[in-house]
Amino acid sequence: MSGGASGPHDLGVDCHAWLVGAGGWGQSNTGLVRGTGSSLLVDTLLDLPHTAQMLQRLAPLTDRHPIRTVVNTHSDGDHWFGNQLVAEPGVEIIASQAAAASMTPATAVELASLWARDDRIGEFVRAVAGSFDPAGITPTPPTRTFSGELDLDVGGRRVRLVEVGPAHTAGDTVVHVPDARVVYTGDIVFIGGAPLVWDGPVSRCIAACDLLLDLDVTAIVPGHGPVTDKSGVGRVRDYLAYVELEATKRFEAGLDVAEAISSIDLDGFPEMSEHERIAANVTNVYEELDPTRPRAGRLEQFDLMATVHLCAAAPRVPAKRQSGDRA
């Protein structure tokens, strides 16, 4: 499949992916589906400079097939903060009803403020996503919503929107192009980085992976990372099932969340980075197993992950030798 190089990737049959970096924090992918005389754009990017660059580089593909539809796969800012640059007359912006409920000015301001925080969360965000600057964002939410499934006609081509949330977020959507055997997954799939479950439950993320594995597709564009195939989705599913199992064992053994997070061995997934996401994922499993447990908000989840990330990044300090120790 396509490598992880930044820029446009031709998937064949007038479908394209735009990849950003290696797919780390904030480095989300977009997609382009061209029909006769019009195109559909899957997602925009976290800030205006990256979105503007993407649209400029895609212009040779869209000059004769202008973007008339934008689909935001979910409500994370790195998949819709660039909407204002495509919100022209005649352009429809679509998301699931559940996603749209979170695509508000308040949530946009909260996320954009993370870069300026003078605390552990701010330090973490600047460390992992310092190349982005969401300043100047005018929140531009969907103009059309749906629930369940929605078929679109994109210049004579059928494009299926399938709501699979709540999973990664409350309102995830995958975009399936049957005639090209291509699917754009949003953040149901991360390639190269560990999966992340904000809303969950984890079991719903596993079910979404199963849905993708059942589709007749050969090219799978993840929310982050290089274009993959079903083997990539399988690894995401394996990770989620493993974390769910191990977290459940620790819950049943009476370990608290911090103990569970620190004790789960992820050596079986050496190809994955961003292992701090284990904090949010384990917390989500605990919340599913104990419905009386207060739900962690997004800032609390960021704080948990920041703790894991900053501890892992801290240099090891050798223990002081006692006077009786051998040299």
CB 94 within 8 A of CB 69: yes
Domain ranges of the chain: 7-313
Give the fold, CATH level 3, of 7-313.
Answer: Metallo-beta-lactamase; Chain A (3.60.15)
Q: For residue range 19-71, list pLDDT tens digits in order.
A: 999 999 999 999 999 999 999 999 999 999 999 999 999 999 999 999 999 99
| pLDDT confidence of residue 314 | 56
Mean pLDDT of the chain: 94
| pLDDT confidence of residue 326 | 39
Q: For residue range 49-61, list pLDDT tens digits in order.
A: 999 999 999 999 9
Calculate what percentage of the chain has a pLDDT beyond 70: 94
| pLDDT confidence of residue 322 | 43
pTM value? 0.94
Weakest mean pLDDT among 77-81, 134-138, 145-149: 134-138
Phi first, then psi, for residue 190 (nearest 5°) are: -115, 135
| pLDDT confidence of residue 313 | 66
Q: For residue 79, give both structure tokens.
A: 């998949």
Q: For residue range 249-297, list pLDDT tens digits in order.
A: 999 999 999 999 999 999 999 999 999 999 999 999 999 999 999 999 9
Q: How far apart are CA 152 and CA 41, in angstroms?
A: 12
Q: How confident is the model at residue 135 (pLDDT cuts 50, 70, 90)?
A: confident
Phi first, then psi, for residue 230 (nearest 5°) are: -65, -25
CA dihedral of 22, 23, 26, 27, whole degrees rounded to 10? 60
